[in-house]
Amino acid sequence: MTTASKEICKKLADKLGVVLDFREEAGDPWALIPAERWKQACLTARDEPELSFNFLRSLCGVDRPDDGVIEVVAHLFSYQHRHALVIHTNTDRSASRLESVSSVWPAAIWHERETFDLFGVDFTGNPDLRRILLPEDWVGHPLLKDYEEPDSYRGIPTTRPGYEKKKFGPQLKKPAPKKPAPKVEKKPEGGEAPKGTAGSAEQK
Amino acid sequence: MTPTIERGPEGGFAVGPIDGLLNLARKHSLWYLLFGTACCAIELMQTGGPRTDTDRFGMVFRSTPRQADVLVLAGTISYKMASRIRLLYDQMAEPKYVIAMGSCANTGGLFQESYAVVKGGDLFLPVDVYIPGCPPRPESLCEGLMLIQQKIEREPWLKKAWGKYKSDKPDPMPTEGCEPLR
C-alpha cells in the first residue's frame, strides 16, 4: 500500500506540474493541493487511468484559525484499483472561496453544501449552494471556532430555561490547567498507580 | 364526571354528565399521528404492533394531521424540523395533545450540546406528557398515551369547546399574536 500510495501522489504531481506536500504515515496517502489547482487536481485524479478515483468518499472542512485557513479535505477512492487518496487544500479564512468539484463528482453537491453550511466556504460553480443541515435563515456557521450561537431562532430559545449557555469557540482554545503534574511527583513509590493518573490526565 | 353504567334486565345504559359521556367517547378514539423524527419512531411503530397493541384502547395511527388527536414527538428535533413539526401541529384539529417521547424530545437529550438540535419540544409546542427514556420502551409510550386518556377524562370538554376553559399548559407559540414559526 505504501509504495503504491507514493506512486499515486507522484503521478498526480507530475500531471499537475506542481510539487505536492505529501505524507503517507497517516494511513491513506495525503496530499496538499494549491487552492487554484483544486478542480484540476480532482479532474486529474478522476480521469487519469492509473488513478481513476471514481468515487468521492467524503468532502469536509477543517477550521484552523491559528493558521488563518479553512481546510477543505476530500477523501477519494478508486473502485478499479482499490486504492484511496486524501487531498486537501487551504482557503483563506476571512473570505473562504473554492472552485466547486460538483461537475467532477455529482456527489460533491451535497458535501459542498454541508461545508458551506457549517464553515461558510463559498464554492463557486456549485449549482445549488444552500444550507443543508440548518434552516436557510440561520445566522453564522457553527463549526467555525469563533462561532457564537444566537440566543434564539424564530422564537425558540437555543438554551433551555435554567441552563447555562453553551460555550463555543474561543473558550475551547484555552489550555486545561495542568494540576496532576505535581501529584505524580509526590507519589513516586506508588508503582503503577501514579502512571495511571498521569496517563488519564494527559488524555483529558 | 365519570359516567356509571346501569344494568337493567333488558340491557344497560350509561348515566352521567354530558361532559363525562363525551370524554368517554373521546378517550377511546385517541388517534395518533404516524410521525417520527429519529430512532424513537421505531419504538412508536412497535407500540402500534401486536405486542403492546394500542388498538385495544382505540388508539390507531393516522397518516394525516387532519385526522390525528395526538402528536408524538418521537425523536431528536432539529431547528429545521421544528418549523415543520409546528406546521403539522397547527394543522391538527382541536382538541389536540402532544407527547414528548424520549430524552431528545424532552430536553435535547444526548444532542443538547449540538448547534442544530432544539433543546426540548416544549420550547415550541405545548407538551402534555413527558416520557423519559432513550428510547422509551413501548410500554412506556403506552403508559404515556394512557395518561393522555386520564387527562381527557378529567377535562371540562364542553367549556373547552366553547372557549371558557383556560388550559394549564400555555402554548409557547400561540397562533395569534406571535410570528408563525414556519
Query: The domain containing residue A122 runs over which residues?
Result: 2-147+156-173
Question: Given this model, what pLDDT does residue A186 score?
Answer: 47
Residues A129 and A204 in one domain: no
- Output the CA–CA distances (angstroms, integers) from residue A179 to A65, A203, B67, in the order listed: 27, 13, 61
Question: Given this model, what pLDDT does residue A32 score?
Answer: 86
Residues A36 and A126 in one domain: yes
For residues B141-168, average pLDDT: 82
Question: Given this model, what pLDDT does residue A1 score?
Answer: 46
CB within 8 Å: B119 and A147: no
| Strand-pair category, B70-74 with B97-101 | parallel
What residue of B is the nearest CA neighbor of A153? B79
Query: For chain B, what percent of residues have pLDDT higher than 70?
Result: 91
Query: Which sequence spans correspond to the domains of chain B?
Result: 31-144
pLDDT in tens, A66-78: 888 999 999 999 8
What residue of B is the nearest CA neighbor of A147? B115
CB within 8 Å: B79 and A134: yes
What is the SS3 assignment for chain A?
Answer: CHHHHHHHHHHHHHHHCCCCEEECCCCCCEEECCHHHHHHHHHHHHHCCCCCCCEEEEEEEEEECCCCEEEEEEEEEECCCCEEEEEEEEEECCCCEEECCCCCCCCHHHHHHHHHHHHCCEEECCCCCCCCCCCCCCCCCCCCCCCCCCCEECCEECCCCCCCCCCCCHHHHCCCCCCHHHHHHHCCCCCHHHHHHHHHHHHC
Total of domains in chain A: 2
Q: b/e per residue, A114-141, with b = 16+ CB within 10 A?
A: bbbbbbbbebeebeebebbebeeebeeb
What CATH number is given to the structural domain containing A74?
A: 3.30.460.80
Question: Given this model, what pLDDT does residue B78 score?
Answer: 92
**Other beta carbons within 10 Å of B182:** 11
CB within 8 Å: A135 and B179: no
Q: List residues bridging with B78 in a β-sheet.
A: B117
- Chain B positions with Cβ closer than 8 Å to A: 78-80, 82-83, 107-108, 112-113, 115-116, 118-120, 123-124, 172-173, 178-179, 181
Question: Given this model, what pLDDT does residue A3 score?
Answer: 54
Identify the helix (H) or strand (E) that includes residue B26: helix B18-27
Residue B177 pLDDT level (bands cut at 50, 70, 90): low
Question: Given this model, what pLDDT does residue A195 score?
Answer: 46
Residues A60 and A37 in one domain: yes
Which one, of B65, B135, B70, B76, lies nearest residue B102 by Cα?
B135
Residues A130 and A193 in one domain: no
CB within 8 Å: B118 and A149: no
> A159, B119 in Cβ contact below 8 A?
yes
Residue A177 burial (10 A CB sphere; 0-12, 13-18, 19+)? exposed
Question: Given this model, what pLDDT does residue B154 score?
Answer: 84
CB within 8 Å: A155 and B118: no
Which one, of B146, B100, B96, lies nearest residue B127 by Cα?
B100
Interface-testing mutation among A153, A165, A168, with chain B (most B C-beta atoms within 10 A): A153
Question: Given this model, what pLDDT does residue A178 score?
Answer: 54
Under-50 pLDDT residues of chain A: 1-2, 171, 183-188, 190-204
Which one, of B68, B51, B65, B69, lies nearest residue B142 by Cα?
B51
Residues A95 and A142 in one domain: yes
Question: Given this model, what pLDDT does residue B11 score?
Answer: 78
Residues A12 and A104 in one domain: yes
Residue A36 to chain B, least CA–CA distance (Å)? 32
Query: For chain B, what percent of residues have pLDDT higher than 90?
Result: 37
- B141: cell is 409510550
Question: Given this model, what pLDDT does residue A153 score?
Answer: 86
Q: Which residues of chain A are within 8 Å of residue B77 when distances are taken between CB atoms?
A: none
> B14, B4 in Cβ contact below 8 A?
yes
What residue of A is the nearest CA neighbor of B120? A160
The domain B31-144: what is its CATH number? 3.40.50.12280
Residues A109 and A23 in one domain: yes
For residues B142-149, average pLDDT: 92
CB within 8 Å: B112 and A160: yes
Interface-testing mutation among B123, B130, B173, with chain A (most A C-beta atoms within 10 A): B123
What residue of B is the nearest CA neighbor of A148? B115
Question: Given this model, what pLDDT does residue A200 score?
Answer: 44
pLDDT in tens, B61-119: 999 999 999 999 999 999 999 988 988 998 888 888 999 999 999 998 888 888 899 99
CB within 8 Å: B80 and A160: no
Interior angle at CA B30, CA B26 and CA B36, nearest 5:
155
Res B138 pLDDT > 50: yes
The position carrying cell 388498538 is B55
Question: Given this model, what pLDDT does residue A191 score?
Answer: 47
Residues A165 and A184 in one domain: no
Identify the helix (H) or strand (E) that includes residue B42: helix B40-47
CB within 8 Å: A160 and B120: yes
Residues A167 and A200 in one domain: no
For residues B7 and B182, which has the higher predicted lDDT (pLDDT)?
B7
For residues B14 and A118, which has the higher predicted lDDT (pLDDT)?
A118
Quote the pTM value.
0.77
Residues B136 and B36: their CA atoms lie apart, in Å, by 14
What is the SS3 assignment for B133-180?
Answer: CCCCCHHHHHHHHHHHHHHHHHCCHHHHHCCCCCCCCCCCCCCCCCCC
For chains A and B, count residue pairs whose Cβ atoms are closer than 8 Å: 45
Residues A162 and A200 in one domain: no
Residues A162 and A189 in one domain: no
Residue B116 to chain A, least CA–CA distance (Å)? 6
Residues A143 and A200 in one domain: no
